[in-house]
Structures are given as structure tokens and as C-alpha cells.
Chain A
Amino acid sequence: MVEEKVVVENVSKRFGRTVAVDGISFKVMKGEFLTLLGPSGCGKTTTLRLVAGFYKPDKGNIIIDGKVMNDIPVYKRNIGIVFQNYALFPHMTVFENVAFGLRMRKTPEDEVRRRVKTMLETVGLAGMEERYPRQLSGGQQQRVALARALVIEPDVLLLDEPLSNLDLKLRLQMRKEIRRIQKRLGITAIYVTHDQGEALSMSDRVAVMNQGKIIQIGSPTEIYEKPVDSFVADFIGEANLIDGRVEMVEGERVGVRVGDTLLETTADHLRLKKGDEVFVVARPERIRPSREGIEAVVEDAEFLGQVRRYYLRLTGLDATIKMDLVNYVGEEINVGQKIRLNLGRFAVVKKDGG
């Protein structure tokens, strides 16, 4: 049976006139890795701090392990937090940093020693016990922060953009590391980021937030393939949003007219009706030149290393879309040329946020 580890129930939080979090609800299962993803200022950090207990919700409940936590202070919740800037204790060695939480819990000294040692091995920092934080690289400091949060065996691990201060290569490596350790320890984690690559590659589920609300929550594939609205479609990955109108609905199958072409797809989650105004969400990497399909004129072309990007003006529509071709070996495509397009697998979202 899957346990519900963290339940956020209809929680709101405002600062003065700003509504930072606006009635959000979600559950995190035991051992699950949930990511809160969204643009700057959408309320991710506030949500995390509500779960941590740094803020009290104005409305709603924070429930951990079936207990309402609203009035329990941070230091009495059993929570591990990893901060963006590491927040290590500068006057303590690596060992003392990691041991701090155990010492606060009055753990016997020999057990402290043993658990800190094991945890430092897990994060790959064996032998660094006596160093001070300032003697470590950014990546190493981040590992100490992780070890410090994990050694207390928290009910839930909270991470607020923990990788944003690292360079790209290290960031990619640490993504894997964090995920590996989280899985190995079976820890429940809530991860905050505005980097969709991070969210898609690490998470069991992603909650996409905007303006204090959760717009969609689901597996990375779900939110990529079946965005519920144009915000999610646009925010996750690259997307061309093309105006269309529903012309046919038969069970799951939907026919959408774009210009004078009728496109067919399945959209079971949207409850579309004939006549609905929609966007067709076409991913640039899935569009291909083709013998039939929508007609377009090549407006511009860019060479981006492995990828060739074309800007295409759709005939009869007031829209320019992007097409990315990787290792393309077909006929040459020139600026000014007229071509036809196969949009590949695409999604449909209702207009006005549906």
C-alpha cells in the first residue's frame, strides 16, 4: 500500500496584498519525488516553506504522516531542508555540520559517529570530515548540505533550487546523484525548481505552478504530452501554439481544423466539444517536412550545432512556427521555399486557459 506522506490541503498564504499561494492541494506519497515547477514568483518557495513550517498557512492544512502540522514549529517537525546557497555552518567542520541534527536529537556519540560516517560515504565525501565549508568546492558543499539534511532520516526532504549555483556540468551530475540517493534511501522529497529540464529528468511527478496555483500535476511524460492548457504547453519544453477549431469529436478522437487542413489526435482529458477554439501544441522537434499536410513558407533558418531550426510561415494563418531538424538527410530546404509539414504527435489545449 502506498502511504500518503505529505498532504497539502487547500492551503493559502498571503503577504500583505500579495497572494503568494492560492488554495493549493497536493499529495506526496512515501518515497516519491515531487517537483514544484513554475516561473519566478509563482509561489514555489512559499509552498516549500509552508511545508517546512517557516510560515503558517492562512487557510488550509499541512499534514505530514497523517498529523496536522499547522501549529508545530519547524524544529519539532522532522524535516530535512537543502537550501540554494547551502547554508552550511561556517564555524563547524564537515563532520560537525552533518552531526548537528543528530546532536540536537541527543543521539549517543558513537551512533552519531557511525551515522555521519555512513552518510558522508553515501554522498561521496569520505575523508573530508575535518574540512571547513570554506575549504570545499560548491559541489562538495552541496553534498554536505544534502548529507546534513538526510542523516536525521527526515520524514520529508525539501530542496529549494539546490543546483542553481553550480555550473552546468556539475548540475547535470548532481541531478543524477540526488535522485540516486533519494531512491536508495527511499526518502520522500519535494523539489523546487524553475528549470524544466531538471523537473522532467528527476521527478516521479511534477506540479506546474503559476500565480500561486497548481495548474497541472502529473508524471513528466503526462505534462509534456498532455498539457492541460497553453501555459503548461508553453512552459514545458518548446512549443508552437497554432490556432485551431474542433470540427469533430468521436470518443477520444478529435478532429481539429488548422487553416484548411483537418488534423486528428486523441484528447481524452479535455472534454472538448465541436466548435471549441483550441491551440494545437506542436513540438518543434516533432515537425517534419512531408508530401502532404499544412503548407508553409520557409522564412528563416538557423544552425544551432546539432540542430537546424527553421522558421515557417503557415499559409493562410497569421502564425510563424519553429521546426527543429536533427541529422536531417532529406531534400535541402531553402529560405523562401514552399513546403508541406507533418506536425508529428501533437497535443490540443483549450484557449483562455480552459
Chain B
Amino acid sequence: MDGGLILKRAYVAAFFLFIFFPLGVTVLISLDPRDYVFGLPPSISFRWYQSFIENDTFVNGLTTSLIVASISMIISTSVGIFASYSITRSGKGFMKNLGTYFLSPLLVPTLVTGIALLMYLKQLGMLNSLINLVVGHTVITLPYSVRVLTAVFSTLDPSIEEAAMSLGASPLKVFSKIVLPMIRPGLMAATIFTFSESLNDYAVSIFLSDSNSYTFSVALFSYLKAVFDPSIAVASVLLMAITVVLIYAIEKTFGLDKVVGMW
């Protein structure tokens, strides 16, 4: 074997170690039977998983987060598809500028967005915190889906759509039979981004949560303020698991193999 190849493999291995080592440590900590976090666990136990499940705050928070993330993901992606398509397919002027408008939440610190939303929604008399959370999360995740999807649409060759049209496909048919299948990889990226962005958010959630509905991140932080025990690690492991399951599910729905094979 030549030296270059060994070096390359070592580099890749080091890279993976760097990325996955902290995750591995977290998994280990979550399996620690002790009440505190120090060094390697002396034995393996599921005690903290038990206590996590029995903690209503965690379970409520996680449920709310999953609901909010799913709904805002669906809204952001579907609005994002049409917005991005119009933005990239219209030459100039109003629609082009709309792109900047859609991205503007990225320029404002989420903390500011959170405060602004809180005051605005109060003014409107919207008191249902679950709905407010969905609204807030849609606002902060929409830029991600628009950003990803405009990038995807701009790589599409418009003459492919024109070819479809010349073959008798109405604009709607062109979109469903040609455009949508071609942007599947981007659509997948957009859904994953928006979902995990929502799941990760704290700054907006903290303002829009109340005792009825609060997100997982809010529950975790308030717990962490009081105690630091391995149940935090359990929470992290769960978040990881959710992400993996999500990617797997999306892969099944959109067909990653086809998507990768296409290009």
C-alpha cells in the first residue's frame, strides 16, 4: 500500500474521531449508574433513561418540540418550494427582491426575533403558546429552506422545463413530473435543516413558551440550571436518535439511492 493512501485514511479516521468522539462520550455518560459525571462509567445501567422517561417536564417538552418541529418543517418547506421556484424563475424586479425578504430573519439575532414575536403575538391576542411556537419556528426556519431551495432551483437548467412544456406538459405537470423529482436531494436537505433548526432553537422558544407548551430545549435548560446529572446526556442521545431516525425516514420517502444516482 502506498504512503499517500495510508495518510489519506488516517486523515479521514482522525476527522471522524473528532466529530464522533464527543458523541460517543455522551452515550457513555448516559449509561453511567452514578449520580455525577466523572471519568468512565464503572458499569452500564439504564437508570437515567428510566428517570428521564419518568420526568414529565422532559416528556412534555420533547412531545411539544416534535410537534412544533414537524409542523414548522412542513410549512417552511412547502412555502419554501413555491417561494424559491418563483424567485429563481423570475428574471428580475419584485420577485428577485423577495428573496432577500425571505432571508431577512437570518440577519436579525433570533433573540430579537423572539422578543419581537412575543410582543407582536400578544398584541394580536394570540395566547395559545403551541400555535405561537409553530409561528415562531416557521419564521426562523423558513430562511433555511428558502436558502437551500433557491440554491437547488438555480442549478436546474430551465431548458429541461421548456422541453417538458414543448412535449405537452402544462405548468402544473412540469412542476410535478419534472421539477419536483429533480429537486429531491435539495428538498431532503431543506426538510432536515428546518427540522433540526427548530429542534435546536432556544432563543425564540424561551419567549414563546409558557407552562402549557414549552419546547425540549427550554425544559432541558431549566433542568440544567438546577442539577447537572447524566439525564442531560440521555436527552442528547435522544436528540441524536431522533435525527438519525428522521434522516432514515426521509431517505425512505425520497429515496436517497435514487437521488444520489441521479447526478
Interface membership of A303, Cβ < 8 A:
no
Contacts of B170 in A (CB 8 A): 75
Contacts of B171 in A (CB 8 A): 75
Residue contact B262 to A104, C-beta cutoff 8 Å: no
Kindly identify which residue among A52, A74, A89, A152 contacts B178, using a CB–CB cutoff of 8 Å: A89
Per-residue interface assignment for chain A, residues 132 to 173, with 1 indicating a CB less than 8 Å from any chain B CB and 0 otherwise = 101000000000010011001000000000000000000000
CB closest chain-B residue, reference A91 = B181
CB closest chain-A residue, reference B166 = A81
Bound state CA distance, A145 and B164, in angstroms? 11
Interface membership of B35, Cβ < 8 A:
no
Number of residues in A with C-beta < 8 Å to the partner? 28
Q: Which of B155-163, B193-201, B226-234 contacts A (4 or more CB under 8 A)?
A: B155-163
Bound state CA distance, A338 and B171, in angstroms? 69
Kindly identify which residue among B162, B168, B177 contacts A83, using a CB–CB cutoff of 8 Å: B162
Within 8 A of A (CB), among B112-167: 157, 159-160, 162-167
Bound state CA distance, A52 and B168, in angstroms? 12
Within 8 A of B (CB), among A78-106: 78-81, 83, 85, 87-91, 100-101, 104-105
Residue contact B262 to A152, C-beta cutoff 8 Å: no
In the complex, how many angstroms separate the beta carbon of A227 from the nearest chain B beta carbon?
34
Interface membership of B239, Cβ < 8 A:
no
Interface membership of B38, Cβ < 8 A:
no
Contacts of B166 in A (CB 8 A): 52, 74-75, 77, 79-81, 149
* Interface of B (DSSP majority class): helix
Number of residues in B with C-beta < 8 Å to the partner? 22
Kindly identify which residue among A73, A76, A80, A87 contacts B159, using a CB–CB cutoff of 8 Å: A87
Residue contact A104 to B173, C-beta cutoff 8 Å: yes
Residue contact A101 to B157, C-beta cutoff 8 Å: no
Contacts of A80 in B (CB 8 A): 166-167
Within 8 A of B (CB), among A276-313: none
Residue contact A74 to B165, C-beta cutoff 8 Å: yes
Residue contact B167 to A87, C-beta cutoff 8 Å: no
Residue contact A104 to B169, C-beta cutoff 8 Å: yes
Bound state CA distance, A80 and B166, in angstroms? 6
Within 8 A of B (CB), among A105-139: 105, 132, 134
Residue contact B167 to A91, C-beta cutoff 8 Å: no
In the complex, how many angstroms separate the beta carbon of B92 from the nearest chain A beta carbon?
10
Bound state CA distance, A233 and B32, in angstroms? 89
CB closest chain-A residue, reference B163 = A87
Contacts of A328 in B (CB 8 A): none
Interface membership of B101, Cβ < 8 A:
no
Interface membership of A54, Cβ < 8 A:
yes
Kindly identify which residue among B157, B159, B169, B181 contacts A75, using a CB–CB cutoff of 8 Å: B169
Bound state CA distance, A286 and B184, in angstroms? 60
Kindly identify which residue among A81, A90, A104 contacts B162, using a CB–CB cutoff of 8 Å: A81
Contacts of A83 in B (CB 8 A): 159, 162-163
Contacts of B95 in A (CB 8 A): none
Residue contact A75 to B165, C-beta cutoff 8 Å: yes
Contacts of A132 in B (CB 8 A): 261-262
Given A148-B163, A149-B167, 7 more A-B residue pairs with CB atoms under 8 Å apart are: A73-B165, A81-B162, A87-B160, A87-B162, A88-B160, A89-B160, A90-B160
Question: Can you name 7 A-B residue pairings with CB atoms under 8 Å?
Answer: A54-B162, A74-B165, A75-B167, A79-B166, A89-B160, A90-B160, A90-B182
